[in-house]
Amino acid sequence: MNINNMCGINGFNFKDEALINKMVRATRHRGPDDSGVFCDENISLGHNRLAIIDLSPAGHQPMLSRDKRYAIVFNGELYNFQEIRKDLEKKGRKFVSRSDTEVILAAFIEYGPECLQKFNGIFAFAIWDKAKQELFAARDQFGVKPFFYFWDNQRFIFSSEIKGILEHKIEKNINQNALNCYFCLLYTLGPDTIWQNISKLLPGHYLVLNKTGLNLKKYWSIQLGQAISDREEAKARIKELLRASVKRQMIADVEVGMFLSGGLDSTIVLGLMKELTEKKIKTFSVGFAVSADQDEKFNQDAILAKRTSAFYGTEHHEIYLNEQDMIANLENMVSAMDELVYSPTQVANLLLARLAKQKVKVVLGGDGGDELFGGYTRYYYYNLIEKWRRLPRIFRNNIGMKNLFALARKSDMYGRLNMDDFSAFWSFMAQKEDLLTRIIRPEINDLAGAQNYVKNKSGLETFGPGLPLSEKMMQADMRTWLVEYSLARTDKITMAAGLEERVPILDIDLAQMAVNIPTKYKINSRNQGKLILKEAMREYIPDFIYNKQKTGWFVPMAKWLRAGLKDTAYDILSDSYNQGRTSQYLDLAEARKILDDHVSGRKYALNTIWSVINFQVWFRRFY
């Protein structure tokens, strides 16, 4: 068996061997074990390989079909390729390797685009049909693996990372809508990127490029069906599907480790791993060098991860970071992301990935559990809003009720209770608008436009009118926050370290079932989420995790900005840092005033400050 696993893919619709090799070198970190190119009339394809299963040359890419008509480059893994292969063999298909890449190619030759309906995995791939002079490319259902492309109606260029596309001579113009979106949400929304003419292939979509042009089509989306009314049935199905997913994703000829936090999701996955293997599992966590009185606040995850490691008897590895680690690796992190995505955890994620890479080539993570099972606190509030809306309007709009909320110092919550769907979404997800107005230049600052832009891309308007608000928001998060913020970080940061991260909770069968579990089984009236997941997987959760209230992962960036990171922050926010070239977008003098207020303690502004710092470093690296 040969699964090529996490790699880098590149290509374009003309022949240039030197240029495709430049793209392959730009994405080499994604697959340091092997690389290859294929060039023919009207096509150049390149591949970087991170070998996980069967390290032999059998999985070398680009891979050609036996008749040399088709060529494929593939990034990811197809979990059910063995079942698909058996079906294809019954139809007379012959195989010369044990590779899932060859199965994908054979399935496409047999079924065409319909092959995607059979695939369960994480993938981005492109297939060239020499006879038709046609390129077919697809991205997995949740967008775990990235696919970027440039198209100017003549040149089509694609890559796993934008930096691969930037090896070409293309005009670099910033997409103003995406820039406003970034400062509001801290990420950009597909199919747009920060660059005009560079796009993301959306999750669950494929494209076809031929002489008629470029055509895009959706092939998959989560289907809402009959709500699962039997709680015990739902619990049994969750356990069955999640166990099967973890089992599939532990397949490797190298060690599989675990990113272990103090949270529920990674603990459940570790418990299943422990049940499924006799090997001692390597686990990895990250903490921060802070004073003893701050340890509980900033290192709760690391402390609980260590306890969970002891509970399951893993070989635990941890790293503790300080301000100097942040300073030394900030530019590396921004270069690794190469999109405009900001999270205060990204440098810590990068250093954790490097630590894990020293011990293993594959790790499992807990992405997706919150979005599927209602884990974030905001879903509890969305649920309150839904219940509030059922009250008579005269009661909801009563001045006495408004004053009651004011007395309880909950005026902001009263405002949210009376919002429409999108306004509620925006109130929880967007950054402070007063600070953004001060920083973004008036000629490009369009917060109303940014709201409409995000509204159109969130998909909220397409959901059924009878769907509870909390369920709408979970699906909106899967289309926005999960893919563009969480999974983008998961892929880029781990691949920068040459490490593969798999996400077993985001199994398509489990997800399809989870969206049809009623909100009342996921969230209770005491602000506790993921109830049905906790109940289903109770045997894998130690009491100290099961009884813990969900908390965020706190990074001491705000504190460090007032101390060891302060000088670096002022330097990056200076007009000279980019020789004044970002002044057309940002008022850096105002940004420095906001930093002054933060440093002095007058006004907390971490996300606003660090989003500008991230943009400044990104601009210098890529513009």
Using an 8 Å Cβ cutoff, are 573 and 612 in contact? yes
Give 593's DSSP letter: H
- Residue 292 identity (one-letter amino acid): A
Q: What is the distance between the alpha carbons of residues 571 and 126, in angstroms, rounded to a whole number? A: 43
Q: What is the distance between the alpha carbons of residues 173 and 188, in angstroms, rounded to a whole number? A: 15
- Ordered DSSP codes for 533-549: HHHHTGGGS-HHHHTSP
Using an 8 Å Cβ cutoff, are 160 and 548 in contact? no
Q: What is the distance between the alpha carbons of residues 139 and 147, in angstroms, rounded to a whole number? A: 7
Which residues, other chains included, contact 235 with Cβ-Cβ below 8 Å and sequence gap of 6+? 532, 535, 536
The values of phi and psi at residue 515, to 5°, are -70, -15
Q: What is the distance between the alpha carbons of residues 587 and 589, in angstroms, rounded to a whole number? A: 5
Q: What is the distance between the alpha carbons of residues 290 and 538, in angstroms, rounded to a whole number? A: 33
Burial of 30 (C-beta count, 10 Å sphere; 0-12/13-18/19+):
buried
Which residues, other chains included, contact 387 with Cβ-Cβ below 8 Å and sequence gap of 6+? none
Using an 8 Å Cβ cutoff, are 502 and 363 in contact? yes
What is the dihedral angle through the alpha carbons of 48, 51, 52, 56, rounded to the nearest 10 degrees? 150
Which H/E stretch holds residue 506? none
β-strands 500-502, 34-40: how paired?
unpaired
- Could you confirm whether 7 is annotated as catalytic? yes
Structure tokens at 73: 């480059």
Which residues, other chains included, contact 183 with Cβ-Cβ below 8 Å and sequence gap of 6+? 431, 436, 439, 440, 611, 615
| Helices 447-458 + 176-185 axis angle, to 10 | 90
Question: Comparing C-alpha atoms, which of 22, 20, 24, 19 is closest to residue 35?
Answer: 24
CA 451 to the chain's CA centroid:
22
CA dihedral for 385, 390, 392, 393, sign (positive or negative): positive
The values of phi and psi at residue 264, to 5°, are -70, -45
Q: What is the distance between the alpha carbons of residues 407 and 415, in angstroms, rounded to a whole number? A: 14
Strands, sheet with 256-259, edge to edge from the N-terminal-most edge strand: 315-321, 282-288, 256-259, 362-364, 500-502
Q: What is the distance between the alpha carbons of residues 496 and 512, in angstroms, rounded to a whole number? A: 31
> In Å, how far are 50, 369, 615, 616 from 623, measured between CA atoms?
29, 36, 11, 10
| Start-to-end C-alpha separation, the chain | 43
Give 586's DSSP letter: B
Q: What is the distance between the alpha carbons of residues 363 and 348, in angstroms, rounded to a whole number? A: 16
Residue-level length of the chain: 623
Q: What is the distance between the alpha carbons of residues 495 and 541, in angstroms, rounded to a whole number? A: 30
Active site residues: 7
